[in-house]
């Protein structure tokens, strides 16, 4: 369904069209932290609109997903130079090399074990990195799977999408892996989030939102526009998720019963990627064309 009474939506420019805002998260300092995937920078945006940019040591490192670590720093994947980055709220950055060459880290999340967990798109592995940079890698029982986003589940395990293997994976902190194939062929899952009870994910090629319980039961909910290319998803509370529609320039909302509402962004070709719950209770999305969108429910 479409919604006629849109919430207050505004777009805020944060970069030129070449920088590519991509990942977004609320930091422990109540500011929004963004990755600029094309210019190799991390940006900090306050609710008052103040923007601070931190250039990384490689402008071509392609920072993607960013999240908060248990140490109060921001952690992010560097997909092009195969490193995991860390930046403090004061702007001090460092990075750690992933041992497997050409790994292509993409998704990253804080685990229940005080370490960060990340996906390796190119090498079919899930990685774990400690606060001092010690990396452990776990091989997945599948080839060419393109593991993408990852999140900590409500069951003490890590859950991730396998974009090309058309499955959702679960890995324990000890490295035990189970894969759950999706009912829809070639759905190409990308973003995944936990709402505290179950996991929600997007199917970018099928135009659907999926929900998987911790025992592996999967439900799929088709979007009104199957060509919308949903990309990232975040839970505001149990059964209350928001997602970006990268191909359609929209922000979507889904309830636990599968009721879907969509909101058009002011710029239809803004390419929304990452989405986060802001410190102000609004939803914030990174727009690859150079801005952020704020959606007040």
Q: Which residues are annotated as a binding site for Mg(2+)?
A: 271, 288
Give the Cα-Cα-Cα angle 197, 262, 30 (nearest 5 degrees). Answer: 60
d(CA 223, CA 184): 14
d(CA 87, CA 9): 30
d(CA 258, CA 217): 15
d(CA 119, CA 100): 12
The closest of 94, 57, 49, 97 to 73, measured between CA atoms, is: 94
User: Does the CA dihedral 125-229-1-219 come out positive or negative?
Assistant: negative
d(CA 188, CA 260): 20
d(CA 226, CA 3): 17
Tell me the CB-side half-sphere exposure of residue 26, using CA atoms within 13 A.
Answer: 14
Residue stretches of the annotated binding site for substrate? 231
Q: Are 287 and 295 in contact (CB under 8 A)?
A: no
- Catalytic residue status for 273: yes
Give the bridge partners for 201, in sequence order.
192, 210
DSSP character string of 181-229: E-SSTT--EEEEEE-SSSEEEEETTTTEEEEE-TT--EEEEE-SSTTS-
Residue stretches of the annotated binding site? 231, 271, 288
The closest of 117, 151, 157, 114 to 137, measured between CA atoms, is: 117
Catalytic residue among 38, 82, 253, 273: 273
Q: Which residues are catalytic?
A: 273
């Amino acid at each position: 369904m479409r919604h006629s009474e849109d919430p207050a939506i505004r777009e805020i420019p944060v970069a030129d069209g070449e920088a590519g805002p991509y990942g977004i998260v609320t930091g422990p300092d109540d500011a929004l932290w963004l990755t600029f995937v094309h210019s190799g920078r991390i940006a900090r945006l306050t609710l008052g609109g103040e923007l601070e940019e931190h250039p990384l040591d490689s402008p071509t490192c392609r920072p993607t997903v960013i999240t908060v670590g248990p140490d109060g720093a921001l952690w992010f994947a560097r997909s092009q130079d195969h490193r995991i980055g860390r930046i403090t709220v004061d702007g001090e950055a460092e990075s750690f090399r992933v041992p497997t060459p050409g790994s292509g880290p993409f998704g990253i999340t804080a685990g229940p074990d005080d370490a960060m967990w990340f996906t390796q798109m190119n090498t079919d592995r899930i990685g774990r990195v400690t606060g001092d940079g010690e990396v452990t890698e776990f091989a997945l029982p599948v080839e060419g799977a393109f593991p993408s986003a990852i999140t900590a589940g409500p069951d003490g395990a890590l859950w991730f999408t396998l974009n090309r293997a058309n499955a959702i994976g679960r890995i324990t902190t000890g490295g035990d892996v189970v894969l759950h194939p999706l009912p829809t062929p070639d759905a190409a899952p990308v973003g995944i989030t936990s709402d505290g009870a179950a996991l929600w994910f997007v199917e970018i090629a099928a135009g659907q939102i999926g929900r998987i319980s911790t025992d592996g039961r999967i439900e799929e909910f088709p979007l009104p526009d199957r060509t919308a290319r949903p990309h990232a998803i975040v839970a505001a509370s149990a059964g209350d998720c928001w997602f970006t529609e990268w191909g359609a320039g929209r922000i979507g909302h889904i309830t636990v019963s599968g009721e879907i509402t969509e909101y058009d962004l002011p710029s239809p070709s803004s390419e929304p990627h990452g989405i986060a719950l802001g410190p102000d209770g609004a939803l914030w999305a990174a727009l690859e064309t150079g801005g952020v969108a704020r959606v007040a429910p």
